[in-house]
């Protein structure tokens, strides 16, 4: 919220200290006198982030903090009535003012208000108790025991699974005030709560607003502004204003791939209350009621994105500038949705504000995963409060589109052999959808991820041909690319997990960057209980696509192994999403697992722990733009070129195709003028473009292959500017490296540094290696004679060095070196 200082709550972020004690060692703050090792503590934060700030290295933070007690203290000064708001306490917590215990909490997902009467200086203590007693308590008998998180009795405790999942993420268990603590009421005009909700009525937007002040106010007339529109608010009582504003001919909010994420500033007199967007969300399930497509303002959206973990797995509350940098990468890659999985937590207001601003849809799982949860009255009451608070807090955000019961609960039970009726839980079928209907009827509700289509009691919840699936045929289960079409995926809320190798700068964070050795493997994710990890998955495709002796390459040429490991992920990801975006595809979306790494190494993330994009994110960017040319290999029928136009505008373009031998010589080709209708996908065959038979996929094999690459370019018909391009290789293996005439120059511009890259012959998977900068456009193919300008981004804010590095291509025998003067 952008409320002015005189009206906003004051964050209690300064002067905190913390100390850890054995579980149960101190019953009250008075018992703490024997513990003298207090350290300064950032708030919001955790005991782990306090230790990090004191100099403890990240490896030493992997501790079972949740099984000890941790005390925080800070002075609280003032006179008169105040309200202290605790937005998140992890997890079994007590709040003490002086020697009085004012609050006990057993959920890290519930916020609490405490009203106090201050008289000078007081001491505020927070105690975060061991969760061991809660884990030992019996709350009914679980019908199944998942392997994802340990121990199985975590089902009883409302805490994140981050830190409790061996083989998945660091064992940094959260304990502490992980969300902000606020003091309300210091000003007579102090605002306690603001509730804004938007709706669409024909061509107009409707803003309904409630503002509640902490102290009683004089009931003077008050005007509300939403952009240029105005309205009057009415006093319901001495504390509460309510009203409605109608915004005529409203500019609707769209995901950035399909329009503008339009927002309106809301002001109460001279008080800025924040921004609001207007949009409608529906779900199209198709004629057979088996599909799932998000529809925004009546426009079907192909949703593509990645699953969110945490931008700071230590503190859990990431700073806004870090979140902003991540959302820029999301937008630039052509992603338009982020799924916050049930194994994580509920994200901050800053996260949702940035999703609104950047035009990124949010799919939020409630914080439930894999377990058979209790169904007693106390548990239901806690969850009701948790769900209601989250939905009310996020009511003003247009980007929230889908709310889901949780992650892999139905899948876990079904895979253990339970029938449909046995894994239905009232939590997901009654309580949570009821809360959504009451608080956010403008968003879609999904019972679980994955889950069968509504009413389907026969199909497996992870089946691919209906409902919501987690698709891992490619790559985790090492299926061929044919499986992507055969699976007939309707919507993949998880997919495409790889051990994605980061660049050399991030690899230097590892104790050893040599692949396959034990310290490397510590950073490679694996499913609990499996005999394989996600290095094995990536290496399967290195062998099958590039026809490599992978073990030999790994120990004879480890740098080449890493380079091709980065390339093959981009190849596979591009192939899968090209299939899903083609004309006639059954798929309406895919969400990659995961967006962010949670520790150094070859993790699932497409962005590394330093915030730099990996080859996987660049591979996604090559096939996920709103205006996109895609190539599909149809075997004996040649190549199909699919032209996507997700914009609201017609595009007149020229499509050109060229088949190249030895990376430079054109041996066949053709061109045609095309009109891309708004919100459309159309298909053009290579046979139609060339006008004669040419074995473009090398399917007939009548003699030696005549070419080694096909290049497709989509140009603006008037300006000739390249709108999109795509490449196909009948033999995807890299083959022998040769001198392809790669060249680079470095230029200084007002916005920063840029590289200008050119090549005499086709360059495959061009990438930039620079210790101080990363390329905003990277891991791409460059056609012979073409030039590409690439802007560079500093890896961190205090970079002062000029760019210096190499531009490489995986088929080039030499790199092009640059050094700025």
* pLDDT cut 90: percent of the chain above it: 93
Q: Which pLDDT score is estimated for 513?
A: 75
User: Is a pLDDT exceeding 90 seen at residue 482?
Assistant: yes
Mean pLDDT, range 773-795, rounded to an integer: 97
Mean pLDDT, range 234-245, rounded to an integer: 97
User: Is a pLDDT exceeding 60 seen at residue 3?
Assistant: no
pLDDT tens digits along 403-439: 999 999 999 999 999 999 989 999 999 999 999 999 9
**Strand partners of residue 495:** 471, 592
Angstrom distance (rounded) from CA 749 to CA 751: 5
pLDDT tens digits along 106-154: 999 999 999 999 999 999 999 999 999 999 988 888 999 998 998 999 9
Angstrom distance (rounded) from CA 488 to CA 490: 6
pLDDT tens digits along 539-583: 999 999 999 999 999 999 999 999 999 999 999 999 999 999 999
* Least confident segment among 631-640, 745-754, 807-816: 745-754
User: Is a pLDDT exceeding 60 seen at residue 2?
Assistant: no
- Confidence class for position 270, pLDDT limits 50, 70, 90: confident
- The answer to whether the predicted template modeling score (pTM) of the entire model surpasses 0.85 is yes
Extract the tokens encoding 708: 């080694």
User: Is a pLDDT exceeding 60 seen at residue 96?
Assistant: yes
Burial class (CB in 10 A: 0-12, 13-18, 19+), 53: middle
Q: Which pLDDT score is estimated for 230?
A: 96
Burial class (CB in 10 A: 0-12, 13-18, 19+), 788: buried
Q: Which pLDDT score is estimated for 522?
A: 87
CA angle (428 as vertex; 426, 433 as ends), nearest 5: 105
* Least confident segment among 416-425, 473-482, 513-522: 513-522
Q: Which pLDDT score is estimated for 1?
A: 43
Find, among 186, 70, 172, the residue nearest to 118 by Cα.
Answer: 186
CA angle (611 as vertex; 748, 60 as ends), nearest 5: 135
Q: Which pLDDT score is estimated for 109?
A: 98
User: Is a pLDDT exceeding 70 seen at residue 241?
Assistant: yes
User: Is a pLDDT exceeding 70 seen at residue 792?
Assistant: yes
Mean pLDDT, range 474-494, rounded to an integer: 96
DSSP per-residue codes, 739-768: ----EEEEEEETTEEEEEEE-SS-EEEEEE
Q: Which pLDDT score is estimated for 119?
A: 97
* pLDDT cut 70: percent of the chain above it: 99
Q: Which pLDDT score is estimated for 355?
A: 98
Domains recognised in the chain with CATH numbers: 10-184 (2.60.120.260), 191-276 (2.60.40.10), 303-614 (3.20.20.80), 627-728 (2.60.40.10), 743-819 (2.60.40.10)
pLDDT tens digits along 669-706: 999 999 999 999 999 999 999 999 999 999 999 999 99
| Long-range contacts from 289-292, C-beta under 8 angstroms, 24+ separation | 289/453, 289/454, 289/455, 290/453, 290/456, 290/465, 290/466, 290/467, 290/490, 291/453, 291/466, 291/490, 291/491, 291/586, 291/588, 292/446, 292/453, 292/467, 292/468, 292/490, 292/491, 292/588, 292/589
- Confidence class for position 5, pLDDT limits 50, 70, 90: low
**Intra-chain end-to-end CA distance of the chain, in Å:** 45
pLDDT tens digits along 314-372: 999 999 999 999 999 999 999 999 999 999 999 999 999 999 999 999 999 999 999 99
Q: Which pLDDT score is estimated for 58?
A: 86
What region does 553 belong to: left with phi over 0, alpha with psi -120 to 50, or beta? alpha
User: Average model confidence (pLDDT) for the chain?
Assistant: 96
User: Is a pLDDT exceeding 90 seen at residue 478?
Assistant: yes
Q: Which pLDDT score is estimated for 619?
A: 98
Q: Which pLDDT score is estimated for 726?
A: 98
Mean pLDDT, range 57-62, rounded to an integer: 89
- Confidence class for position 240, pLDDT limits 50, 70, 90: very high
CA angle (450 as vertex; 448, 451 as ends), nearest 5: 70
User: Is a pLDDT exceeding 70 seen at residue 182?
Assistant: yes
Contact present, 621 and 655 (Cβ < 8 Å): no
């Amino acid at each position: 919220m952008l409320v002015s200082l005189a009206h906003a709550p004051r964050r209690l972020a300064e002067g905190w200290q913390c100390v850890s004690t054995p579980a149960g060692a101190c019953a009250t703050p008075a018992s703490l006198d024997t513990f003298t090792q207090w350290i300064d503590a950032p708030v919001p934060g955790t005991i782990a982030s306090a230790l990090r700030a004191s100099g403890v290295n990240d490896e030493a933070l992997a501790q079972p903090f949740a099984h000890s007690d941790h005390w925080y203290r800070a002075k609280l000064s003032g006179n008169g009535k105040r309200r202290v708001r605790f937005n998140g306490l992890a997890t079994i917590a007590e709040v003490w003012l002086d020697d009085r215990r004012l609050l006990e909490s057993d959920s890290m997902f519930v916020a609490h208000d405490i009203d106090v009467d201050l008289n000078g200086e007081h001491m505020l203590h927070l105690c975060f108790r061991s969760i061991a007693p809660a884990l030992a308590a019996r709350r009914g008998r679980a019908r199944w025991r998942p392997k994802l998180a340990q121990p199985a009795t975590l089902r009883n405790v409302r805490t994140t699974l981050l830190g409790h999942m061996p083989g998945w993420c660091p064992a940094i268990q959260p304990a502490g005030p992980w969300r902000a603590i606020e003091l309300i009421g210091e000003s007579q005009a102090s605002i306690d709560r603001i509730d804004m909700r938007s709706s669409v009525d024909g061509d107009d937007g409707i803003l309904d607003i409630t503002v509640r002040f902490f102290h009683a106010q004089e009931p003077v007339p008050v005007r509300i502004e939403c952009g240029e529109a105005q309205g009057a608010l009415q006093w319901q009582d001495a504390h509460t204003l309510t009203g409605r504003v109608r915004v005529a001919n409203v500019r609707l909010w769209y995901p950035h791939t399909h329009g503008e994420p339009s927002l309106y500033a809301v002001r109460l007199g001279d008080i800025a209350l924040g921004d609001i967007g207007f949009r409608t969300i529906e779900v199209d399930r198709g004629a057979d009621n088996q599909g799932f497509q998000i529809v925004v303002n009546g426009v079907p959206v192909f949703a593509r994105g990645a699953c969110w973990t945490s931008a700071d797995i230590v503190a859990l509350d990431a700073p806004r500038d870090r979140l902003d940098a991540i959302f820029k990468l999301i937008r630039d890659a052509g992603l338009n949705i982020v799924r916050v999985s049930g194994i994580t937590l509920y994200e901050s207001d800053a996260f949702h504000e940035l999703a609104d601003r950047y035009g990124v849809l949010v799919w939020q799982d409630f914080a439930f995963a894999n377990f058979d949860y209790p169904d007693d009255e106390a548990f239901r009451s806690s969850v009701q409060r948790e769900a209601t608070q989250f939905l009310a807090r996020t009511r003003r955000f247009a980007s929230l589109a889908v709310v889901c019961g949780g992650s892999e609960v139905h899948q876990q039970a079904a895979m253990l052999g339970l029938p449909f009726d046995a894994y239905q839980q009232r939590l997901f079928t009654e309580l949570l959808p009821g809360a959504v209907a009451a608080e956010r009827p403008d968003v879609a509700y999904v019972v679980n991820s994955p889950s069968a289509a509504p009413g389907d009691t026969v199909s497996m919840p992870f089946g691919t041909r209906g409902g919501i699936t987690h698709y891992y045929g490619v790559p985790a289960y090492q299926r061929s690319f044919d499986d992507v079409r055969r699976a007939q995926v309707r919507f993949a809320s998880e997919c495409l997990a790889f051990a994605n190798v980061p660049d050399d700068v991030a690899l230097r964070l590892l104790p050893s960057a040599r692949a396959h050795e034990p310290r490397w493997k510590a950073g490679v994710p694996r499913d609990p209980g499996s005999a394989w990890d996600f290095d094995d998955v990536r290496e399967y495709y290195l062998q099958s696509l590039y026809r490599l002796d992978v073990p030999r390459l790994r120990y004879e040429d480890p740098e080449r192994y890493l380079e091709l490991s980065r390339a093959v992920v981009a190849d596979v990801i591009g192939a899968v999403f090209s299939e899903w975006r083609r004309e006639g595809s059954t798929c309406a979306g895919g969400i990659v697992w995961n967006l962010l790494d949670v520790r150094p190494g070859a993790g699932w993330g497409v962005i590394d722990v330093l915030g730099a994009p990996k080859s996987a994110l660049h591979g996604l960017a090559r096939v996920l733009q709103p205006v996109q040319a895609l190539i599909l290999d149809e075997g004996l029928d040649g190549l199909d070129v699919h032209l996507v136009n997700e914009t609201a505008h017609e595009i007149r373009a020229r499509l050109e195709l060229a088949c190249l031998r030895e990376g430079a010589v054109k041996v066949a080709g053709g061109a045609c003028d095309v009109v891309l209708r708004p919100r459309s996908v159309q298909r053009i065959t290579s046979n139609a473009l060339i006008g004669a038979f040419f074995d473009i996929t090398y399917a007939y094999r009548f003699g030696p292959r005549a070419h080694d690459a096909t290049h497709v370019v989509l140009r603006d018909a008037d300006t000739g500017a390249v709108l999109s391009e795509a490449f196909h290789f009948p033999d995807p293996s890299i083959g022998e490296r040769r001198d392809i005439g790669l060249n680079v120059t470095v230029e200084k511009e007002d916005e920063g540094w840029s590289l200008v890259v050119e090549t005499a012959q086709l360059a495959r998977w061009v990438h930039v290696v620079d210790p101080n900068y990363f390329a905003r456009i990277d891991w791409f193919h460059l056609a012979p004679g073409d030039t590409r300008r690439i802007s560079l981004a500093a890896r961190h804010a205090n970079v002062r060095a000029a760019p210096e590095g190499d531009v490489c291509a995986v088929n080039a025998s030499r790199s092009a070196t640059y050094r700025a003067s």
